[in-house]
């Protein structure tokens, strides 16, 4: 079943045509990787799924991105609710300089999901457990989130998304600042969460895409060249451009 349906989608930065007639179905509770060389439009596509590009001056779009059967670019769409349901984790942890607890609770309060302390406490604990952080931080919840290791900070960012009951998690190079051991732990977490969430990950690391994703999209110069099961993309791609990229001939 498709969770995200992208139809004839185009994105422009003023006159620059960044995404060109993208058509793809992203399946529910699967991990979809987006790969391609720098500047091919990977992050622009990812940011289009929760309208983060709206914050850039001169951006305009055509086509549709349908989530739950509704075009998120329709007039009247509440972008705040969209971003609650479609959470995003960036290349580097973007935590608030407040406590571990308050980082997770922030979204609950700002979105008015819970107001009672007991309910907030329960969600904070559940969210931290879902990213395997609870045992590490349960005795220091009121210490600064910035005191955590980079890997733990990235887990906390994911917990913050989980806390507000996001259905879709977007990950933009989530391991780019991590060492190999921390990267492995985050990858294991991503695979674990895919039982409950639809996950889209942008990565320059083709080995990472091969390890964690069910499906892979290859992009080049703003176009979606090929989309298929990850195993096929990396072992028997249909397009010459895809084969050249995954074999290391360019990129």
Residue 65 confidence (pLDDT): 98
Q: Cα separation of 64 and 61, whole Å?
A: 9
Q: What is the mean pLDDT of residues 228-242?
A: 97
Residue 30 confidence (pLDDT): 96
Q: What is the mean pLDDT of residues 113-132?
A: 88
H helices of the chain, in order, are: 42-48, 79-85, 100-110, 117-130, 134-137, 150-163, 180-193, 206-212, 230-235, 240-246
Residue 131 confidence (pLDDT): 94
Which residues neighbour 118 within 8 Å (Cβ) at sequence distance 6 or greater? none
* Token pair 């933009």 in the structure block, residue: 172
CB neighbours of residue 21 within 10 Å: 14
Which residues neighbour 38 within 8 Å (Cβ) at sequence distance 6 or greater? 204
Beta bridge partners of residue 16, listed in sequence order: 13
Residue 109 confidence (pLDDT): 82
Residue 69 confidence (pLDDT): 87
Question: What residue segments make up the domains of the chain, in order of their start?
Answer: 29-43+79-246
Which residues neighbour 31 within 8 Å (Cβ) at sequence distance 6 or greater? 190, 191, 194, 199, 200, 201, 212, 213, 214, 215
Q: Please tell me the CATH code under which domain 29-43+79-246 is placed.
A: 3.40.50.300
Q: Tens digits of per-residue pLDDT, 41-64?
A: 999 999 999 999 998 999 999 999
Of the pLDDT bands very low, low, confident and very high (cuts 50, 70, 90), residue 196 is very high
């Amino acid at each position: 079943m498709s969770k995200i349906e992208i139809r004839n989608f185009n994105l422009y930065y003023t006159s620059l045509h960044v995404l060109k007639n993208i058509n793809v179905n992203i399946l529910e509770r699967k991990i979809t990787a987006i790969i391609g060389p720098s500047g091919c439009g990977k992050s622009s596509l990812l940011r289009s799924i929760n309208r983060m590009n709206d914050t850039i001056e001169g951006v305009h779009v055509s086509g549709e991105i349908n989530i739950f059967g509704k075009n998120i670019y329709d007039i009247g769409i509440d972008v705040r609710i969209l971003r609650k349901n479609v959470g995003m984790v960036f290349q580097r942890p973007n935590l608030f300089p407040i406590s571990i607890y308050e980082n997770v609770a922030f979204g609950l309060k700002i979105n008015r999901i819970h107001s009672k302390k007991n309910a907030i406490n329960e969600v904070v604990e559940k969210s931290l457990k879902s990213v395997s952080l609870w045992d590490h931080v349960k005795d220091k919840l009121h210490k600064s989130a910035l005191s955590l290791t980079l890997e733990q900070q990235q887990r906390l960012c994911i917990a913050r998304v989980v806390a507000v009951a996001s259905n879709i998690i977007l990950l933009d190079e989530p391991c780019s600042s991590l060492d190999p051991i921390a990267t492995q732990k985050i990858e294991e977490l991503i695979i674990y969460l895919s039982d409950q969430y639809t996950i889209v990950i942008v990565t320059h690391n083709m080995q990472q895409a091969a390890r964690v994703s069910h499906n892979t999209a290859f992009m080049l110069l703003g176009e979606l060249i090929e989309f298929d099961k990850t195993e096929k993309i990396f072992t028997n791609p249909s397009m010459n451009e895809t084969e050249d990229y995954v074999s290391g001939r360019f990129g």
